[in-house]
């Protein structure tokens, strides 16, 4: 059997913040490996370090100590430009707040990461069409965010996060602003990306129901990984 490819690796990673003269530990000596095609969820109370971990993996913050690698590549010497390139090529991010550009249509929002990479023409249109169909938003492609429901906006946000074909998708409370049905739809969509395209998904959530879709769940407390719960095979149709 082939050895699994490790997409995300943390080795004794810590993140410490200095605020008002106080020292706050956001992440405390966390070691973790997530393989290609894994759907990994992190649960725990607010302030336990879940979002801090995702921010470090996405290069939105940097570790105080320890080593972080993505796809086997150490990131310790990454510059700001290196992280920008990584987010444009390797990592996609979905937030709780949809962060869509109000003046752009759904299709234009999805195309934006490709335009930032300098891509133009028919290839951009074809890729946008492909991912909008994947998230069942083709019929709403010309609508602006204000004309879309919360669930539809999050589907557009997922499409935008995967349009550049990242290997790793980070989802930080993607159902937090949605009702239970639309939240379940988004989790099913994330699950389908793992099953169909072997994306590596790291999900941060307060929702036990959302975490159930993952291959395994890490419970976090006080900046540390506490317990891991392995789930059986999950079949979800988006």
Within-domain flag for 113: yes
Residue 191 belongs to some domain of the structure: no
Least confident of 1-5, 167-171, 176-180, 188-192: 1-5
Instruction: Tell me the mean pLDDT in the region 22-36.
Output: 96
Q: How many domains does the structure of the chain reveal?
A: 1
Continuous H helices in 102-204 = 106-116, 122-134, 150-162, 180-197
Q: Is residue 106 part of a domain?
A: yes
What does the pLDDT read at residue 4?
A: 84
Contact in structure between 43 and 217 (CB atoms under 8 Å): yes
Q: Which domain holds residue 157?
A: 99-165
DSSP state of 155: H
| pLDDT 10s digits, 47-88 | 999 999 999 999 999 999 999 999 999 999 999 999 999 999
Would 230 be classed as within a structural domain?
no
């Amino acid at each position: 059997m082939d050895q699994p490819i490790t997409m995300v690796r943390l080795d004794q990673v810590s993140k410490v913040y200095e605020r008002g003269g106080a020292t706050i530990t956001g992440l405390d000596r966390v070691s973790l490996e997530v393989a290609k095609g894994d759907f990994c969820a992190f649960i725990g109370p607010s302030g336990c370090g879940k979002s801090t971990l995702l921010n470090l993996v996405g290069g939105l913050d940097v570790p105080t100590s320890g080593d972080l690698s993505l796809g086997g590549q150490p990131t310790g010497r990454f510059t700001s430009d290196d992280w920008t390139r990584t987010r444009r090529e390797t990592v996609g991010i979905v937030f709780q707040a949809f962060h869509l550009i109000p003046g752009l249509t759904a299709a234009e929002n999805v195309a934006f990461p490709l335009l930032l990479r300098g891509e133009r023409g028919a290839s951009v249109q074809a890729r946008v069409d492909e991912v909008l169909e994947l998230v069942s938003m083709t019929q709403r492609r010309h609508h602006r965010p204000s004309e879309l429901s919360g669930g539809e906006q999050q589907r557009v946000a997922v499409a935008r996060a995967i349009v550049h074909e990242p290997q790793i998708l980070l989802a930080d409370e993607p159902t937090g602003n949605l009702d239970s049905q639309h939240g379940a739809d988004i989790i099913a969509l994330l699950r389908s990306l793992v099953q169909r395209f072997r994306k590596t998904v790291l999900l941060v959530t307060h929702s036990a129901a959302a975490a159930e879709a993952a291959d395994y769940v890490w419970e976090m407390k006080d900046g540390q990984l506490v317990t891991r719960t392995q789930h059986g095979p999950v079949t979800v149709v988006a």
